[in-house]
Structure 1
Amino acid sequence: MHSLRPLAKASFALCSLLALASAQAAGISDDKVRIGVLSDMSGQYSDSGGRGSVEAAKMAVEDFGSKVLGKPVEVIFADHQNKADIGGAKARQWWDAEGVDMIIDLNNSAIAGAVNVLAKERNKVAIATGALSNALTNEFCAPTAIHYTVDSYSIASAAVDAVMKQGKKDWFIIAVDYSYGKVTSEIITNFVKEGGGRVLGTVYHPFNAGDFSSFLMQAQSSKAQVVALANATNDTINTIKGAREFGMTKSMTFVPQLVYINDIHGLGLEQGQGLVFATAYYWDRNDESRAWAQKYQARMKKMPSMNQASIYSAVTTYLKAVQEAQTDDGPAVVAQMKKMKINDVFSQNGYLRDDGRMVHDMFLVQVKTPKESKGAWDYYKVLDTIPGDKAFQPLSKSTCYLVKK
């Protein structure tokens, strides 16, 4: 009997070490959860992202209690300047040297793609709320990468379908000359052809272009009934303003793809009235969304974009998953997120798929006339609700290696 005591002690010591290792692995890696908001802080996407994205993330952390598993949660931020090399370098620095656990926003598709690659290599969580390219859940998908808000497929499907039902079959596309514009123009073309229509031409313009007259003249010369705009923010606003100046909106229907409420605020209802597009979020949808948006407005002096609202949702969901998984380990947290249903100020009927796509209901909206609006930020009429399973690309069309066919 006595001869077994050393063995028993050694066995107990080994079990204790394994339990300690397991507890450390299951806890918070460095006694703090760090969330990095990587956004356009100074360029044309800064109004729909930027400081507003940082504030939305902070609001989520505060509402969660500023701690998870008894450890503090910190929000830091950086400006990617809409340059993939700068964004990638910052993500690498955050993950390799500064203990960041999750990076969010990424409101540029080229940057989001680069960060997804790094997330896959490092098993870290990347949540793209501001990027649009479907490539993020196809060729750039990763086990710990999530595409949260909208994408090229979801914003095109509802709007193209609505206009095609009006009998308008001849289209022309004006697109920004980088990943988002190219992917979106291809998706629009596919939807138009599937609906029995024709795309009479596509023209690409530089990012943050100053003059759209030549691109608009090409659209006018095509004799198309519809002009789809595969650009965003200032580029979309300036395209629409130019079209109205040339009198093109009287004979041609303009269908913008990515529109934030900030864009309509800047454009004004006089010029924006009648525009139809798909959105993931409208602040005036219900009591819960109104209450949160008004809280945000009190801090930022404006209503949140759908990107900023989705950041609040995504950070909250992430922290809930950390709490449930009892760890900030990237793969474990994302696995937990994929078990969750997401219904909050942003998401309706939300859930995460194997390809990293967060599926949720979308809304087809029309911009109100000045007479219809009851005041500042009362801009949309909701025409239709599109169930998430219909709005987003089906998994059967996915090229993500994580999807089992």
Structure 2
Amino acid sequence: MKASKLFAFSAIALACAMQGAHAQTPLKTIKIGILTDMSGPLADAYGPGSVRAAEMAIEEAKSQFPGVNIELVSANHQNKVDVATTIARKWYDVEKVDAIFDLVNTSVAIAVQGVARERKKIDVPITGASSLTGQHCSPWAIHWSTDTHIQTGGVTSGVMATGGDSWFFITADYSGTREMADQAKAIVKKGGGKVTGEVLFPMGSTDFASAVVAAQGSNAKVINLASGGQDTVNAIKQLAEFGLVAQGKRIVAPSIFLTDIHSLGLKAAQGVVFVDSTYWDLTPETRTWSKRFAETMKRPPTPQQMNVYGAVQHYLKAVKTAGTTDSDAVMKQVRATPINFFNTKNGVVRENGSVVRKRYVFQAKSPAESKYAWDYLKVAKELSLEEGAPVPVAESGCNFTSK
């Protein structure tokens, strides 16, 4: 055999041996981060409950990873982009976190997704904006939650179809909620409806008097609250105090949380509609899991916390199948593996990271309809997979090669 051919053969054999050795390297540690709002207006719906949900997913998965240490770290991003990105860089670069979950607050989620994309690391937002799988998409991101396209589409079209043809918007002034409001306005205008006005407010506001007066003066039939957490609670309380709920104004809050309805009480929240993928009291399976969650947290989980559990569980399944925490190998399995846990059957993670799964239009019950603690919601409509799907990948604006 000629020397050149022998050298080539030896190089190939060495490469194969190295690949085999790499493939056989035992998995020792999986490190997961929950980066969330632990003390601000979104903490009730996410926060410590998200951490507990991740703990539950890890506890259940440990038997599938003998000899592997699954670590969980958590931190408060304080709804500040600079704080969130500093933590994310430290976690990925220094503490060797393999994947970051939760990332509530769209500005935070977009910024951290940029950090993760630069490092080819996995991030899993449980927050709204469709742009996370559009212009801000990443090959290593999974947008696990209900996005703004789904939240606005199902609710806005339904309200328009039942006579809600004039709309006033009260919008939190940050990227995700502005995106949500703009999507709803487009649907209203396309359907022949009228947008009578809009008031923007800073996150964390407590005084909505001027916004409520403007909404009342607009004579709109529908008031859309593009906001979340305590902001939504404060706005609805003041809409009720000014008599707009009693006047029959329809309140649409696409991003309202179960904890918001609890804070408001059904007298103020009754009739509010929104889209989500689950609810603690939806099925026997959700009730069983929620009972376990409540043993520690002393209340049922929000859909967002339930989705943290599902996302962490699905990620760990992918790691198990891949036999590694390498981002490319894991994401290949994330997309190839159907999503199956207590509130999702045969869901799919698409190429751009968006998730197709069952979703519902929920409506807050009246006080008379509620029969026990936290019995707050009923299913107004069960959406088909098409009705509840994110923007089609080809129309999403996602372009991995431009990053």
Q: Do the structures match in fold with TM over 0.5? A: yes
Point out the more displaced range, 343-352 or 13-22.
13-22
CA shift in 2, pair 1:97/1:21, >3 Å: farther
User: 1:389 Cα shift?
Assistant: 2.8
| 1:304 partner SS | coil
CA distance in 2, matches of 1:28, 1:362: 39
User: 1:67 Cα shift?
Assistant: 5.6
Question: Where does residue 260 of structure 2 map in the other structure?
Answer: 263
| 1:186 partner SS | helix
Equivalent residue for 1:395, pick from 393, 396, 402: 393
CA shift in 2, pair 1:252/1:133, >3 Å: same
Alignment of 1:2-17 (within 5 A): 11=10, 15=13
Question: Where does residue 146 of structure 1 map in the other structure?
Answer: 142
Equivalent residue for 1:231, pick from 227, 232, 237: 227
Unaligned runs of 5+ in 2: none
Question: Where does residue 22 of structure 2 map in the other structure?
Answer: 24
Instruction: Verify the 8 A CA contact 1:148 1:358 in the aligned structure 2.
Output: yes
User: 1:137 Cα shift?
Assistant: 0.7
The residue type paired with residue 212 of structure 1 is F
Equivalent residue for 2:288, pick from 291, 302, 308: 291
User: 1:390 Cα shift?
Assistant: 2.2
User: 1:230 Cα shift?
Assistant: 0.2
The residue type paired with residue 61 of structure 1 is I
Question: Where does residue 245 of structure 1 map in the other structure?
Answer: 241
Question: Where does residue 43 of structure 1 map in the other structure?
Answer: 40
Instruction: Verify the 8 A CA contact 1:226 1:254 in the aligned structure 2.
Output: yes
User: 1:23 Cα shift?
Assistant: 3.7
Question: Where does residue 137 of structure 1 map in the other structure?
Answer: 133
| 1:100 partner SS | coil
Instruction: Verify the 8 A CA contact 2:106 2:128 in the aligned structure 1.
Output: yes
User: 1:201 Cα shift?
Assistant: 1.2
User: 1:311 Cα shift?
Assistant: 0.7
| 1:87 partner SS | helix
CA distance in 2, matches of 1:286, 1:46: 25
User: 1:388 Cα shift?
Assistant: 3.3
CA distance in 1, matches of 2:26, 2:191: 51
Deviation sequence 1:219-255 (CA, Å, 0-9, x none): 1111111011100111111111101100011231110
Question: Where does residue 323 of structure 1 map in the other structure?
Answer: 320
Equivalent residue for 1:175, pick from 150, 171, 174: 171
Alignment of 1:95-244 (within 5 A): 95-129=92-126, 131-244=127-240
CA distance in 1, matches of 2:351, 2:299: 35
Equivalent residue for 2:360, pick from 354, 359, 363: 363
| 2:82 partner SS | helix
Instruction: Verify the 8 A CA contact 1:95 1:124 in the aligned structure 2.
Output: yes
CA shift in 2, pair 1:347/1:393, >3 Å: same
CA shift in 2, pair 1:358/1:205, >3 Å: same
Instruction: Verify the 8 A CA contact 2:154 2:387 in the aligned structure 1.
Output: no
User: 1:26 Cα shift?
Assistant: 6.6
Equivalent residue for 1:309, pick from 303, 306, 310: 306
Deviation sequence 1:94-128 (CA, Å, 0-9, x none): 00010100000000111111111112111111000
CA distance in 1, matches of 2:68, 2:158: 48
User: 1:22 Cα shift?
Assistant: 4.2
CA distance in 1, matches of 2:25, 2:43: 35
| 1:390 partner SS | coil
CA distance in 2, matches of 1:336, 1:316: 13
The residue type paired with residue 397 of structure 1 is E
The residue type paired with residue 377 of structure 2 is Y
Matched, 1:86 2:83: yes
Unaligned runs of 5+ in 1: none
Instruction: Verify the 8 A CA contact 2:62 2:70 in the aligned structure 1.
Output: no
Question: Where does residue 273 of structure 1 map in the other structure?
Answer: 270
CA distance in 2, matches of 1:310, 1:402: 26
Alignment of 1:41-80 (within 5 A): 41-65=38-62, 68=65, 70-80=67-77
Instruction: Verify the 8 A CA contact 1:159 1:277 in the aligned structure 2.
Output: yes
User: 1:65 Cα shift?
Assistant: 2.0
CA distance in 2, matches of 1:108, 1:390: 25
Question: Where does residue 375 of structure 1 map in the other structure?
Answer: 372
Report the TM-score, using the length of structure 1 for normalisation.
0.93
CA distance in 2, matches of 1:344, 1:387: 19
CA distance in 1, matches of 2:383, 2:346: 11
| 1:93 partner SS | helix
The residue type paired with residue 246 of structure 1 is F
The residue type paired with residue 401 of structure 1 is N
Point out the more displaced range, 323-332 or 18-27.
18-27
CA shift in 2, pair 1:339/1:380, >3 Å: same
CA shift in 2, pair 1:195/1:71, >3 Å: same
Instruction: Verify the 8 A CA contact 1:69 1:323 in the aligned structure 2.
Output: no
Instruction: Verify the 8 A CA contact 1:354 1:402 in the aligned structure 2.
Output: no
CA shift in 2, pair 1:28/1:56, >3 Å: farther
Q: What is the Cα-based RMSD across aligned positions, in Å?
A: 2.1
User: 1:340 Cα shift?
Assistant: 1.5
How many aligned positions are there?
396
Point out the more displaced range, 63-72 or 380-389.
63-72
